[in-house]
Amino acid sequence: MNKIEKLIEALCPEGVEFKKLGEVLDYEQPTKYIVKSVKYDDTFTIPVLTAGQTFILGYTNEDFGIYKADKTNPAIIFDDFTTSFHWVNFNFKVKSSAMKILTPQKNKEINFKFIYYAMRCIGYEPQDHTRHWISKYSKIKIPIPPLPIQEEIVKILDNFTELEAELEAELEAELEARKKQYEYYRDELLTFGDDVEFKKLEEIGILIRGNGLQKKDFTEIGIGCIHYGQIYTHYGAFADKTKTFVSLELAKKLKKAKKGDVLISGVSENIKDVCKPLAWLGDEICISGDMFAFRHNQNTKFITYLLQTTNFQIYKRQHAQGTKVTRVKSNKLLKFKIPLPPIQEQQRIVTILDKFDALVNDISTGLPAEISARRKQYEYYREKLLTFKEKN
């Protein structure tokens, strides 16, 4: 019998109390901590955070409106729309008001880090574009065992997290080196001289803007669909099957993408991710607003690779607009010039790049697979530690 099992037997053999998150956590709107200027510079000292996947957007020199956090007074920043969240124990500012800053309620028998780990076990998936903390997420119940058990679990998970982070950092560093190598070869293969014709995207195809589809419209079966946010969270560079569906009735009203279209997300939190491409290689599907289907007569994967190059990143930086949400207008996107070698040459280049792409991005092989396996092992261990019988 391990230490936690002994504590459970001694302190709560009949089970533990479950409480809503809103009963143990307070929240604060981040309005007064929003950064004024988005002219970030790595030489500045105050990080600007988002509760989404990017986390640190950049650094600012603004010395006002700073949220004071440290190891003794940490906070959780919670994205009110995606429900993504991060543990923060350093001073920061935020990009927008689309989040909550969570802190522990006073005079409660809770370990704040325990609450954070328990939240990591919540399998909540937002189905609509609305604020979630007050309406739904804060009402989710988590186990609240006696404080000695919370503290012991936090100690174990902190140690395990630190060890896991070190091992994962080594793998990530190697993977990052491979990605840079891949990006170099990709850019080289897609660089052409005057012997190849260059055309604007508008000269070889059209943009079809999606409409209407929201996450709340998803069904278990039906017509395949892709929501613009899924391009970032659920897909790589290519796909032939969707992860979600809509009813036949709704599908009749929605815009469609066909086999061979390049799906392009129209908005993002940052310039790097905006206009992320996804080569669609399957049957006709429905697409949401804030994304486009680029329909053309070239090799789909070739176009997709071109929209990942350093040249396109530079082009996006020149034409991106917005502060809270970043966009590149469709008329600007269509002006981007690309090289168009013969279709046979396009396919030859795609075959080479597909092999490179698999080495650095395919989660079923190599380093990505090993990193994924380690994360799943950690998640399994964490959830096992945080599973309790509820007291009647």
- The pLDDT, as a whole number, for residue 54 is 82
Q: Are residues 216 and 105 in the same domain?
A: no
**C-alpha–C-alpha distance, residues 388 and 381, integer Å:** 14
Q: Answer yes or no: do 336 and 346 share one domain.
A: no
Shared domain check, 290 and 152:
no
Determine the Cα angle at 319 with ends 316 and 322, to 5°: 100
Judge whether 182 lies within some domain: no
If asked whether residues 268 and 372 sit together in one domain, one would say: no
201 and 336 within one domain = yes
Please tell me whether residues 153 and 198 are part of one structural domain.
no
DSSP string, 330-344: HHHHTT-EEE---HH
Structural Rg of the chain based on CA atoms = 24
What is the value of pTM for the model shown? 0.61
Whether 7 maps to a domain, the answer reads no
How far is it, in rounded angstroms, from Cα 189 to Cα 339? 11
Q: Residue 1 domain-assigned?
A: no
Q: How many other C-beta atoms are found inside a 10 Å radius of the C-beta of residue 25?
A: 23
Which residues, given as ranges, of the chain have pLDDT below 50?
Answer: none
Per the structure, the complete domain to which residue 225 belongs is given by 193-340
> At 75, which CATH number?
3.90.220.20
Nearest 10 degrees: CA dihedral of 180, 184, 186, 192?
160
19, β-bridge pairs: 142
Shared domain check, 392 and 302 = no
Residues 214 and 288: their CA atoms lie apart, in Å, by 7
Q: Is 372 part of a structural domain of the chain?
A: yes
Q: What percent of the chain has pLDDT over 90?
A: 67
**Quick one: 149 and 198 in the same domain?**
no
Instruction: Give all strands (DSSP E) within 44-173, no chain letters.
Output: 46-49, 56-60, 75-79, 85-88, 93-94, 99-104, 141-144
Given a contact cutoff of 8 angstroms between Cβ atoms, the answer to whether 308 and 361 are in contact is no
- Report yes or no on 5 lying in a domain: no
Same domain for 219 and 127, yes or no, is no
Which has the closest alpha carbon to 57: 68, 65, 46? 46
Token reading at 2: 């391990």
Tell me, yes or no, whether 140 and 153 share the same domain: no
What pLDDT sits at residue 28? Answer: 96
Q: How many CA atoms lie within 13 A of 12 on its CB side?
A: 20
Statement to judge: residues 228 and 125 lie in one domain:
no
Distance of CA 342 to the CA centre of its chain: 36
Place of tokens 């994360």: 375
- Per DSSP, the three-state class of 293 is strand
Q: Which of 6, 2, 98, 122 is nearest to 49 (CA)?
A: 98
Residue 185 lies in a domain: no
Number of domains in the chain: 3
State the Cα–Cα distance between residues 227 and 286, nearest whole angstrom. 9
Task: Please indicate, yes or no, if residue 181 is contained in any of the structural domains.
Answer: no
Residue 376 lies in a domain: yes
Task: Please check whether residues 389 and 363 belong to one and the same domain.
Answer: yes
> What confidence tens digit (pLDDT) does each residue in 13-43 have?
899 999 999 999 999 999 999 999 888 999 9
